[in-house]
Amino acid sequence: MTSHIMPTYGRLPVTFYKGEGAWLWDEQGERYLDTLSGIAVCNLGHAHPAVHTAICEQSKRLLHTSNIYGIAVQEQLASKLTEKSGMDNVFFCNSGAEANEAAIKLARKFGHQSGIENPAILVMEKSFHGRTLATLSATGNVKVQQGFAPLVEGFIRVPYNDINAISQALEQHKNIVAILVEPIQGEGGVNIPAQDYLSRIRELCDQYNILMMLDEIQTGIGRTGKFLAFQHTDIKPDVCTLAKALGNGVPIGACLARGIAAQTLTAGTHGSTFGGNPLACSAALAVLKTLEDDNLIDLATQKGNAICSALRDKLQNNEHVIDVRNKGLMIGIELDKPCAELVTMALHQHLLINVTNEKTIRLLPPLIINEQQIDQLVTTLSMIITEYTAQSL
Ligand SMILES: *Cc1c(COP(=O)(O)O)cnc(C)c1O
């Protein structure tokens, strides 16, 4: 049968019908263990009752009005998010790319207000910020940009996890108004920077009077063992973007701002028809409440560490495994060669994983993954890694 979907995705040969927690069932009734969570989206697992109830109840009353009216659940969600993050206010949208678009516009406006006519944003190699024109221009991956020239101007790029490179760029380019960076790079290969990376960036931003903007779209909402990844440090950014797990599958994005950055986008300067509508906000409120009620964020650290130490144990004699690293349940297993085939091998074993940056297996299990599921993940994954690295010697 010919598909009428634009072929923008290379799809795996499986179609899911229903889910529950970390399990998914395909149309034939076969069960799979989901350790990817729709790429860090379903952090509470599939068909979570709290989210289900929230969106059912909300849909009986109101799905949408407009941002030209007050929206009570949007106000509640903004209070909750600012309270939990230490930020001042929020702009709501529908995706990660849109949250970053808001941040990019905010930074440019901030620049113009400080008298900089040609503002630039400092971004990183191997970064991922989305697929819209501005966010793909900010992304540090030529494959994402290929074929879409002319790119959006106003981005200057330096290597990730290199403070000296940032210092030099700031010295050299007086038009830099903001630094946009992921606390841990997800698509770029689960790259965890030096422990003081974010605090050194904060110092430089203060010194040069520019905005520190964190893309927490993948790292946020409990994924790394804190509500937001920057909360592993004692600094705060000026701008922080969220999406993915915020609605556990209901599309919602958010751009949080603090201090002067919170005063930059004023009436009429930005907008979104759907952004922050009652349906999406009620889902997000249920997500935040469940994370708290079930203490899931602290558990993410324990579970992530348990998965990694068990994997290290099983793979300790495999010289093709270069590194097993994690922050909470954001996990990377780096091999010494390309390993995209592992995704299909895992699928045959009814395990859903991902490979990023060619050589790094990426696991983003739901925060509700249980002990038996962790055992199954470790056993199956170490088995296929062993098989794969042995066969292709
Ligand atoms: C997924 C992701 C995005 C893009 O989010 P979309 O909702 O797909 O637009 C941006 N930044 C990071 C770090 C991401 O992981």
Ligand 1 pocket: which of 129, 137, 216, 239 to mutate (most atoms within 8 A of CB): 129
Question: pLDDT at position 134, please?
Answer: 98
| pLDDT of 393 | 55
pLDDT tens digits, 125-141: 999 999 999 999 999 99
**Distance, CA of 392 to CA of 383 (rounded, Å):** 15
Binding site for pyridoxal 5'-phosphate: residue ranges?
96-97, 128, 215-218, 273
Q: Which of 215, 303, 327, 359 is catalytic?
A: 215
What pLDDT score does 1 carry? 73
pLDDT the model gives residue 38: 98
Distances from the Cα of 108 to the Cα of 44, 105, 228, 278, 360, angstroms: 35, 5, 25, 30, 35
Map tokens 């899931």 to a residue: 296
Strand pairing partners for 16?
A: 26
Phi-psi region of 9 (alpha: psi -120 to 50; beta: other; left: phi over 0): beta
Residue-wise pLDDT tens digits, 210-252:
999 999 999 999 999 999 999 999 999 999 999 999 999 999 9
For the chain, the domains span 18-47+295-390, 49-293
pLDDT tens, 144-158? Answer: 999 999 999 999 999
What residues form the annotated binding site for N(2)-acetyl-L-ornithine?
Answer: 131, 272
* Residue nearest ligand 1's atom 6 by CA: 96
The pLDDT tens digits for 340-359 are 999 999 999 999 999 999 99
Is 244 an active-site residue? yes
User: ∠ CA(311), CA(312), CA(315), 5° rounding?
Assistant: 80
- Cα–Cα distance measured from residue 346 to residue 86, given in angstroms and rounded to the nearest whole number: 40
CA-closest residue to ligand 1 atom 11: 129
Neighbours of 384 (CB within 10 A): 21
Model confidence pLDDT, tens digit, residues 95-113: 999 999 999 999 999 999 9
Task: Give me the sign of the Cα torsion angle 373, 376, 377, 378.
Answer: positive
Q: Is the CB of 186 under 6 A from ligand 1?
A: yes
Over the chain, what is the mean pLDDT? Answer: 97
Q: What torsion, rounded to 10 degrees, do the Cα atoms 10, 14, 16, 20 define?
A: -100
Q: Do 114 and 177 touch, CB atoms closer than 8 A? A: yes
| 239, 244, 357, best to mutate for ligand 1 pocket (most atoms within 8 Å of CB) | 244
238 pocket-lining for ligand 1 (C-beta < 6 Å): no
pTM exceeds 0.85, yes or no: yes
Q: Please work out whether the CB of residue 95 comes within 6 Å of at least one atom of ligand 1.
A: yes
High-pLDDT (> 90) share of the chain, %: 99
CA of 185 to the centre of ligand 1 (A): 11
Report pLDDT for 392. Answer: 63
Instruction: Measure the CA–CA gap between 283 and 92, rounded to whole angstroms.
Output: 13
> 49-293, what's its fold?
Aspartate Aminotransferase; domain 2 (3.40.640)
Q: Which CATH number fits domain 18-47+295-390: 3.40.50.720, 3.90.1150.10, 1.10.10.60, 3.90.660.10?
A: 3.90.1150.10
**Is 18 one of the catalytic residues?**
no
Q: Which atom of ligand 1 is nearest to the CA of 187?
A: 15
Q: What's the whole-number mean pLDDT along residues 74-81?
A: 98
For residue 2, name the pLDDT band (cuts at 50, 70, 90).
confident
CA distance 68 to 310: 52
